[in-house]
Amino acid sequence: MGSRERLVVVGGVAAGMSAASKARRVNGDLEIIVYEKTSFVSYGACGLPYYIQGLIAHHRELLARTPEQFAKRGIQVFTRHEVTRIDPENRSVEVRNLEDGTVFHTPFDRLVLTTGGHAARPPIPGIELEQIYTVRTVEDGIALRTFIEEAHPRQAVIVGGGYIGLEIAEALTARGLQVTVLEMLPQVLPNLDREMTEPVVAELERQGVALRLEHRVEAFEGTGGKVRAVRAGGTLFPADLVVLAVGVRPSVALAREAGIALGPTGAVAVDDHMRTNVEGVFAAGDVAEAYHRVTGRPAYIPLGTTANKQGRVAGENAAGGDATFHGIVGTAVVKVFDLEVARTGLTEREASEMGLEVRSTTITHGSQAHYFPGGGPLRVKLVYQPDGRLLGAQMVGRGAAKRIDVIAAALYGGWAVEDLTRLDLSYAPPFAPVWDPILVAANVATR
């Protein structure tokens, strides 16, 4: 292998390129090779719904860095190259060039596995029909937007009422399509407690989105190889296109075949240094578990923020450093038309399912001073234990994105609800009332 040690990174994007970049900063002598099976190696995947909507004019605006830019930093990036096998015993990977089909082997000293996750495609009859899309990669976004602009579809069915499903519902509505969202559960946004989704349902209805809860998809029906309708709950819903948004699964096939251990969530098990059970092999991002600071257990919450942080830790340690990933609290926010919807920590349902004794407080309060134009109601739910230990929060309405981070920081610090009542939060009429909704909720909870 020569005198230089070699790091191979399997997969690019958030975790992979964070790992490669951090490894380069830590060890200037390390040879770094990245294999990415798609055509793009560094981009903002969370911007795809807004590209599809047309708010972002060109997919190039989503790109963070190109292979050529990484090459200037001493990182070799090979796009359209898929790693098909990892051989830990012989310290090598098998790689297929997707452009010409050739297969070759690359030895490594250390390896970072960042194969990410993939959009779930359940085995539903008709799933192979054309015009059934997922939104996970830049290529996915280009394909869906191109179809919309060239074929001018009129009716869209979105399968799944989670974050991505509702973001795409907004994007397609803005494009002038009639949108139906099918969700097999009795609520949208399953990561929230049910009562917190009531304003979301009202907003979807206000924007003209047809929402059908407790509608499990039974089949996709079509003619000429193209989808024409979705059968769900015994009803046929016409569709010129379908978007599947039924969750993300960790892409663990390579890991499993290489003897890399999976954890209880089904993702790759890692320690706080992002090490796997195989010596010299690290994992990060949507393929890996993360330590949840509230539960003390492994969790699978695939988000770009976590992927970037885990990638940095994995890259530093693969290059000879000693970094630690301190865990997550499960913070997320989504825009649903004119609503901000956010959560962190545990919901009341999640805490109860874990066997915890749980209490909750829900309030609705103005997001700004009552006399200032442009404000609106903000619903806040705090979840905590009888002794006051804070477990989580959910917020729906104007200002949720600003405030959820306060609770996330409190969870990271292990605070109690009473600690929230003492916070010196910012106040000005355009941004908050003199009693911020967080303070109102905390005061009610401590009575």
Kindly tell me if the per-residue pLDDT of 2 is higher than 70. Answer: no
Active site residues: 46
pLDDT 10s digits, 258-309: 999 999 999 999 999 999 999 999 999 999 999 999 999 999 999 999 999 9
In order of their start, the domains of the chain are: 6-118+249-318 (3.50.50.60), 121-246 (3.50.50.60), 339-446 (3.30.390.30)
Q: Average pLDDT of 340-366?
A: 97
Asked whether residue 447 carries a pLDDT value surpassing 90, the answer given is no
CA gap 119, 142 in Å, rounded: 16
Residue recorded with tokens 């009562």: 195
CA dist 75 and 370 (Å) reads 54
What 3-state class would DSSP assign to 206? Answer: helix
Beta bridge partners of 419: none
For the segment 5-33, the average pLDDT, to the nearest whole number, is: 97
Give tens-digit pLDDT for 105-162: 999 999 999 999 999 999 999 999 999 999 999 999 999 999 999 999 999 999 999 9
Helix (H, G, I), strand (E, B) or coil at 21: helix
pLDDT mean over 233-246:
96
pLDDT, one tens digit per residue, over 58-103 is 999 999 999 999 999 999 999 999 999 999 999 999 999 999 999 9
Once rounded to an integer, what is the mean pLDDT over residues 305-315?
97
Spatial separation of the C-alpha atoms in residues 446 and 440, rounded to whole Å: 10
Structure tokens of 295?
């539960």
Query: Which runs of consecutive H residues, i.e. helices, occur in 319-367?
Result: 348-353
With contact defined as beta carbons under 8 Å apart, do 359 and 444 qualify?
Answer: no
Task: Go through the chain and tell me how many residues it has.
Answer: 447
Average pLDDT score over residue span 211-234: 96
pLDDT band at 3 (very low <50, low <70, confident <90, very high): low
What's the pLDDT score for residue 86? 98
Residue 1 confidence (pLDDT) above 80? no
Q: 316: Cβ–Cβ under 8 A, 6 or more apart, which residues? A: 22, 23, 26, 322, 323
Residue whose tokens read 């069915």: 157
Q: How many CB atoms lie within 10 A of CB 372?
A: 15
Tens of pLDDT, residues 172-215:
999 999 999 999 999 999 999 999 999 999 999 999 999 999 99
Do 240 and 144 form a contact (C-beta atoms < 8 A)?
no
